[in-house]
Amino acid sequence: MSDPVGRVVVVGAGIGGLRTVERLRHRGYEGQIVLLGAERHLPYDRPPLSKHVLRGERDTVWLRADNDFSVLNVAVRVDDPAQGLDVERQVITAGQGAVPYDAAVIATGAVPRRVPGVAGHVLRTLDDAERLRASLSPGGRLGVIGAGLIGCEVAASARAMGVDVDLIDVLAGPLIRVVGPKVAHLVAEMHTEHGVALHMSSGVAQSAGGRLTLGDGRRLEVDVVLEAIGATPDTGWLAGSAIELDDGVVCDLDGRAAPNVYAVGDVARWGGRRSEHWTNAGQQADHVAAVILDQERPAAEVAYWWSDQYDVKLQGLGSPGADDDVELVRWGPKARTIAVYSNNGRLTGAVGFSAAGGVMRLRADITAGADVNEIVDRLAS
C-alpha cells in the first residue's frame, strides 16, 4: 500500500490519541506515527479514576500492554508535552525535539476548572486520583464542589469508603446540565438515600482551614475538598498558532482544524459541538483516521455516555435539548427506570438507571426520530 501521508504526529496520549493510532493502523496505514504525551505514564483509562481506582479496588487501568506499542509501531514520547504547532511549516515543537508532520492530530483533552480561593483536590489524572485516595479515610468528611458526573461519582465512591460527603452545586440538582431537572431529582434521591448531604443551589463563597462557607452563610466543616466544576479544553500550548480556538479547537465535521491538522476528543469542537465523553473520543479518532487516509467515513453514531454511582449504571443516549419533554418509564420489581426525551413528539434521547438492554435498543429509534408515545408503550409493556 502506498500511504497518502508520510508521518502522523498525535499530540495527547489519552483515549483519543491512542485510538487515533490504533485506527490508523487498523485501516492499513504503514507510515510513521509519533505519539506525544504530557504525563509520565503510558496511556491509561480515565473513567475508573473516580470509581475502582479511587476506591482502591484497582490500580491503574492501562489501555494497552507496554509491548503493544512496538506492535503498533508507534514512537511514544511520554513526559514530553507539545509546546507549539506551526501550521505553515508543519512542525510540532516539544521539549525532546521538534517533530515535522504530514498530518497532525490534537488530542490534548481538558484540564479541570478551579474554584477561586479554594486550593482543593482536582481529579483528571492518575496522579490526581492517587493523591485524592490517599487523603480520604473512613469517618473523614469530604466536600465535593460540583455535582456533575465526576463530582457525583466521587461522592458515591467516597460513601463506599466510609467517608461522609457534602455535595455542593450552584445548580438546582445533581447532573442537571446533562439530564435535566426531572432526572436530576432521581439522582438527588439516590445520593440522599446513600447518606450524602446535598447542598444544591449553593455556591462556595469562602474556604479557609477546613471550613467551606456557602453563599447563604452556612458553614461546612470538611477534611478534604474536591473541586469538580468541569473542565476547559487543554489548548494553552496552541496560543499564538494559526489554529482557531473557541471553547476548544474549532473543527469542521471531519475534525479538520487547519490543512493537515485535526482534533479529536474533549479538546475538539466539531461543527460547533464539543463533547466530554469517552465514547465520543474513540468515534472521532476513527473518523479522523479515515479522513487522513482518504477512506470512506464511518457512519455517525448516536452520542453515548455512562456513569457508575453506587450499584447503579446510568447510561445516556442521544443529545436532547434543554427544553425537550421528559417522561419516566418504570417497570418490574426492581423499578428499573428509563427517562425518554422528545421534541415535538419525536424521540431525541434516553437515560437509563441500570436498564442497559432497554436503553441500548433505543439507538436506532433515536436516529429515526421515532414517535415517543410508541416508545413509551413499548418500554412499559
Ligand X SMILES: Cc1cc2nc3c(=O)[nH]c(=O)nc-3n(C[C@H](O)[C@H](O)[C@H](O)COP(=O)(O)OP(=O)(O)OC[C@H]3O[C@@H](n4cnc5c(N)ncnc54)[C@H](O)[C@@H]3O)c2cc1C
User: What count of other Cβ atoms lies within 10 Å of the Cβ of residue 64?
Assistant: 17
Interaction between residue 315 and ligand X (CB under 6 A): no
Task: Output the CA angle 24-27-29, nearest 5 degrees.
Answer: 55
| Least separation in angstroms between CB 276 and ligand X | 5
Nearest residue (CB) to ligand X, 166 versus 266: 266
Q: Residues 98 to 117: which contact ligand X by CB under 6 A?
A: 107-110
User: What count of other Cβ atoms lies within 10 Å of the Cβ of residue 1?
Assistant: 8
Which residue in 63, 74, 82, 190 binds ligand X (CB under 6 A)?
A: 82
Which residue in 276, 286, 324, 365 binds ligand X (CB under 6 A)?
A: 276
Nearest residue (CB) to ligand X, 205 versus 300: 300
Interaction between residue 353 and ligand X (CB under 6 A): no
CA distance 366 to 364: 5
Indicate the Cα dihedral angle 18, 19, 22, 24, nearest 10°. -110
Task: Output the CA angle 73-76-77, nearest 5 degrees.
Answer: 155
Residue 150 φ/ψ, nearest 5 degrees: -70, -45
Interaction between residue 31 and ligand X (CB under 6 A): no
Nearest residue (CB) to ligand X, 234 versus 365: 234
- Residue 325 buriedness (CB in 10 A; 0-12 / 13-18 / 19+): middle
- CA-CA distances (angstroms) from residue 10 to 17, 106, 260, 264, 324? 6, 6, 12, 10, 38
Element housing 232 (H / E):
strand 231-233
DSSP state of 124: S
Nearest to 340 by CA among 368, 301, 373, 308: 373
Element housing 212 (H / E):
strand 211-214
Nearest residue (CB) to ligand X, 202 versus 283: 283
Give yes or no for a contact between 38 and 136, defined as CB atoms under 8 angstroms apart. Answer: no
Nearest to 262 by CA among 299, 288, 296: 288
- CA-CA distances (angstroms) from residue 248 to 201, 231, 304? 28, 11, 20
| Least separation in angstroms between CB 308 and ligand X | 6
- CA-CA distances (angstroms) from residue 185 to 90, 99, 143, 173, 180? 50, 50, 20, 7, 9
Which residue in 8, 9, 10, 15 binds ligand X (CB under 6 A)?
A: 15
| Least separation in angstroms between CB 357 and ligand X | 19
Which residue in 31, 81, 318, 320 binds ligand X (CB under 6 A)?
A: 81
Nearest residue (CB) to ligand X, 166 versus 276: 276
- Whose grid coordinates read 476548572? 113
| Least separation in angstroms between CB 297 and ligand X | 19
Interaction between residue 37 and ligand X (CB under 6 A): yes
Nearest residue (CB) to ligand X, 126 versus 370: 126
Interaction between residue 39 and ligand X (CB under 6 A): yes
Among 26-34, 213-221, 260-268, 363-371, which window interacts with ligand X (CB under 6 A)? 260-268
Q: Residues 43 to 62: which contact ligand X by CB under 6 A?
A: 46-47, 49-50
Among 39-47, 68-76, 326-334, 360-368, which window interacts with ligand X (CB under 6 A)? 39-47
Give yes or no for a contact between 36 and 82, defined as CB atoms under 8 angstroms apart. Answer: yes
Which residue in 262, 305, 341, 353 binds ligand X (CB under 6 A)?
A: 305
Nearest residue (CB) to ligand X, 156 versus 222: 156
Nearest residue (CB) to ligand X, 54 versus 379: 54
| Least separation in angstroms between CB 105 and ligand X | 10
> What angle separates helix 149-160 from helix 181-193, to the nearest 10 degrees?
20
DSSP state of 121: B
Among 37-45, 140-148, 329-337, 366-374, which window interacts with ligand X (CB under 6 A)? 37-45
| Least separation in angstroms between CB 250 and ligand X | 16
Q: Residues 227 to 246: which contact ligand X by CB under 6 A?
A: 234, 237
Size of the site for ligand X (CB under 6 A): 37
Interaction between residue 124 and ligand X (CB under 6 A): yes
Which residues of this chain interact with ligand X, rule CB under 6 A? 11-17, 36-39, 46-47, 49-50, 81-82, 107-110, 123-124, 150, 234, 237, 265-267, 276-279, 281, 305-307
